[in-house]
Structure 1
């Protein structure tokens, strides 16, 4: 779907200048635009110029609606939080294949490899993201255990809400919600075959087929298959990734639609744990980027199977009833090492574990309009349940002095961990239409949280935890709104106080004010936000341990504060020019902590305080109409760690600020065949994407990828 813009109008490339000139160009846009005929995109009909939720086929870098923040279908302008969407077009233009690519290119999100290059964590506003969502259903994420990277071939878009998101996720950190929205079957037949080849023998193939399954179109289906086999710039590093995804959709009646789907993803790599070691003096060793510190026998293999489905019924009065559920099982084997100096000289720490996680999520909600005081308001009421059944099997030896050139140990199982975490919640959200320019969103959620340690005595519960949501949006004019919001989220903790009672949950409170702009009927969105997050009730060691019934007693008195600014622009500057980018500044520091010396100190020094990310693409017209070009710029400020040496002195290890540029060019050879070339790290910048924390055990110096080339060919029937 193309969105008409003023013919020939070009805006300044300056980020702020582009945002400022939008309002003045809107009148010209309205006068010059011809209303196109309705466009049918699969089973979804989009009329006029307004974008819908589905991004596939729109060539857009933004979306019309997203429901991740409140379950209300709101535009970005109507959502009183900082939001981003990574559309299908943007994934394709940047040749994204995994969630790592999404995080690296989403404003405000940071891809951390501080625990090793294959145990990545994701951060937002200074805190780890510990929940992912799939079609709105939350799923626990940990970079240490279930570190599977969802394959992007099966998704239409990725919606990101920054800040506390307890209303939709329940328990978690006040960081962000990443919602992966799956591709749906299309009414009209479409088949595409994609092949890609890149540097270091990186090969990928993909098949995507969708169609109605009967003459009336009441049954629709889609199948996606993908396989990737790749080496790396590191010597002898290999990985492979496989995906099978199938989804069916049925109109049970004129007002009822049911969906059932299945996905299986397998990931394997022989390099995932430790990075490069530091020198004994705490300095970077500055080894060649091709250095592989691992052993030939190391391996990490993950398989995750997911069954999901939903039923939606649309009532005649505008109300809808949604029932959704998913069940997934992750099976993973981790066998690896990292280089360490536990006994002064450089050796390896060897380890093996087997992870078996089962996750279940169910959600039922009703939404619709309510008439009151002469105005129409919106209400969502629902209930949800989450279960994480996690089993870990441990093996010996867990050897911290294994020889650098040692063969694979004879691992023998010697332990098991088993814990079940369940969450039950009820929630209510309403959007009150108080006046034509004034909307208020109020929401609340009650959660019952239960952690059951089947192998020990670490059980704890949280009963009727109240999560709150409040947002005010005021329309300044046709294109601009100001907003203020309060959101929170809770994180249960297992530490106990002097009486032996489990501490109250950590609470993350997100305060945010901002200005949003929506232009060209939603084809372009701009925003600026100022935020503060207080994460309070953190466990701090009690001042006295007198009478403590366990090893150590704690108080719920710790406080960490995150403050910053968030600027973003995403969508179409002209009919043929798409842009997505933003700048974020985040300062996270201790207010109260067990260690008084931490007061006003940075909370996490190996996360940059400033990040700038920009992606753009342009489609030529006239004689060059088959050609498109684009590029990306990623910049971050410095990171550092104060490394403690063997003599207890400290050395500040740094990775200075750096920028990486990528370019893309595509050519539509025929109506069916499209070719695209991507060059990443165009200027071959050498930098560390993660830096070490200790010369003794913290071997996590990890180089960013050198310059690489990729060619993608896509044939569409």
Structure 2
């Protein structure tokens, strides 16, 4: 089946739709403006003049949250946060039948799921750069699509908070892309149990168990257990995966002012699709193979197990201050055995590979926060310290063969090498929110990091001492519902290239400039935002014109620059009492300003990442005789992406996937107070498209088809 190609004049989303939604909803809520407003009820959460949504999203039926602390450690509403932010709530995860971080990224405005290395090695991008930081309850964890590509199982999370742009104040080192913060479910004092079963296309079966309750009569000790297992084939022939999760958490009130939380999770993922992308022709064209084509071998396997122990203790003082200490320790054990079709010689063959990854990550974060009185006004302060340790061990095996027979049996892999490195990062930070006037707030923050990379198997050690990260934001309230803001923040990325003094280059610095306007309606039940941003990633390694005087093989200069510019537009929350919406439009142009290769200047930094993304999700709950019924759907659209493929004769061919849209639908029915049924149909028009495209006819950056039409039926029984 031939992939659909659409030119540059394909579907172009209109921002007018969002404006219409806002205007319609304001009119509906303001119809009785001269009488006291009726409260808006979102499930268990009632929103009126005195009450707003809280941070926890479970049970609210909402597509937004009341506050989030991911950006600055301050518990701010979206309107009060001077950066582009998104929350994927528990309700939205359930409505769209999301199960993994891949689903979150696919449906979060401004984020792009990249499968350029095949469906088994995904990476995530925002504002033109790779996302290399994930967070769990606010503690950063390094992420690599290759080395530790475990996808957190969403069954154990209440919500996912996303901050786009540079996030150095909270993560330390990283790219100026985004931080994805997974916020775990917490125990409830009220007993609740749910059993979920799901069946979908291609023998996709899933079961979940979630139970929470007080563990003593007074309710001061609470516990929760979540279990999940999924076994699934896919649209590719003979592809199979299974995913298991156990999650347990306890919460104890040691006193009226002190709460201790301890938890453990174990996740196991296995798949026989390690790389799995399709090759392209020697002329650079798509081969247009059937979507069901599986280019892998029967012996391929990728198995990941990750065990995590975490906990935190919080003490609340009488003066409004609180002290919080949180820690997390995880160990990942992964075995990768796989291949991809390659053409290093004249004929199509396989590149085969095996490795064993043993990663340990530890994070500790301690901070105090509270109000400060000065100049007749109340301000807020956060001061804290953090530590991150990433201990990575990689055991390599031979053969690593680039010309292995297409139908060859599993190689006799023999261990022949080892890599071991320890990365330590210590930081201290300070953030303050200054209440300068009733409509004017200023957020100032700073962080100092000590970064140490220790290569235990070689001589690639390097350090970064006292790196300063800065944060500044100004928020001005225009009226009761709207605020304008401007912000600056940065982030650093250490690099291993060395200069003419045989010293590591200064870290790459990503500077994020952003201005925007935010709206908050219906007491925070609906949030809207428009942001314009520019990111300069400077100090990138470049090759000088001459290597004269270089004491090592190759010397570099820290003079490269990539610039990313664009806009973010987003709407999330309740448009009316029964209508939830989440979506947005983003435009990003990331291009080289200065690079080692002068030909790259003013060219796209990531041409196989679309510049424009439009994502819209909505759900509606009927009233009256149809009150048990809800319907919803979503549309994801992206602009074209391309790669200029270099051919054997030295010429190039521009390989493209044109713009395309994929639509999904959902219908749910509440049979009774205990039983809920839901049907999800994805890619309802069965659009054929490439979700990733190749960049070479030789090696494994490969074509990957998007999922065809699929069905999933979910039954949830709660009591």
Is the TM value for this pair above 0.5? Answer: yes
Residue 34 (structure 1) shift = 3.0
Structure 2: which 5+ runs fail to align? 1-14
CA shift in 2, pair 1:248/1:45, >3 Å = farther
User: In the aligned structure 2, how far is the partner of 1:515 from the partner of 1:38?
Assistant: 26
Match of 1:99 among 101, 108, 112: 101
Which structure 2 residues correspond to residues 203-602 of structure 1 after superposition, within 5 A?
A: 203-602=205-604
Partners of 1:547 and 1:614 in 2: CA distance: 56
Counterpart residue number, 1:17 = 20
SS of aligned partner of 1:221: strand
Gap runs ≥5 in structure 1: 1-11
Tell me the distance in 2 between the aligned counterparts of 1:491 and 1:271. Answer: 31
| 2:707 counterpart residue number | 705
Is the contact made by 1:386 and 1:424 (CA closer than 8 Å) also made in structure 2? yes
Shift of 1:39: 9.1
Mapped contact 1:503–1:539 kept (Cα < 8 A): yes
Aligned length: 704
1:80-91 equivalences in 2 (<5 Å): 80-91=82-93
Matches of 2:282 and 2:110 in 1, distance apart?
Answer: 34
Task: Report the 3-state secondary structure (helix = DSSP H, G, I; strand = E; otherwise coil) of the residue aligned with 1:553.
Answer: coil
* CA apart distance, 1:543: 1.9
Q: Residues 32, 403 of structure 1: CA spacing in aligned structure 2 closer, same or farther, 3 A cutoff? A: farther
Give the match for residue 33 of structure 1.
37
- Which deviations, in whole Å up to 9, do the C-alpha atoms of 1:7-36 show, x marking residues without a partner? xxxxx9811222355666664476453348
Deviations 1:304-358 (Å, cap 9, x if unpaired)? 0000000000000000000000000000000000000101110000000000000
How high is the TM-score relative to the length of structure 2?
0.96
Aligned partners of 1:531 and 1:565 also within 8 Å:
yes
- Is the partner of 1:345 in helix, strand or coil? coil
Structure 1 length normalisation: TM-score? 0.96
Question: Secondary structure at the residue paired with 2:91?
Answer: helix
Alignment match, 1:186: 188
- Shift of residue 551 of structure 1? 1.1
Distance in 1 (alpha carbons) for counterparts of 2:495 and 2:551: 18
* CA 501–699 in structure 1, closer or farther in 2 if over 3 Å, else same: closer
Task: Report what 1:6 is aligned to.
Answer: none
User: Alignment partner for residue 77 of structure 1, among 72, 76, 79?
Assistant: 79
Where in structure 1 do 4 or more consecutive aligned residues deviate above 6 Å? Answer: 36-41, 44-47
| Matching residue of 1:145 | 147
Q: Secondary structure at the match of 2:390?
A: strand
Q: Secondary structure at the match of 1:562?
A: strand
- State the SS of the aligned residue for 1:235: coil
- Between the aligned partners of 1:298 and 1:35, the Cα distance in structure 2 is 56
Instruction: Report deviation, 1:272.
Output: 2.2
The alignment partner of 2:340 has SS state of strand
Q: Is the 8 A contact 1:37 1:47 kept in 2?
A: no
Structure 1 602/39 Cα, relative in aligned 2: closer, same or farther at 3 Å?
closer
Post-superposition offset of 1:698: 3.2
Contact in 2 for aligned 1:230/1:240 (Cα 8 Å): yes
CA distance in 2, matches of 1:679, 1:254: 48
Cα offset, 1:37, TM superposition: 10
Deviations, residues 563-598 of structure 1 (Å, cap 9, x unaligned)? 001100000011100000000000000001111111
Aligned to 1:8: none
Tell me how far apart the structure 2 counterparts of residues 364 and 646 of structure 1 sit (CA, whole Å). 56
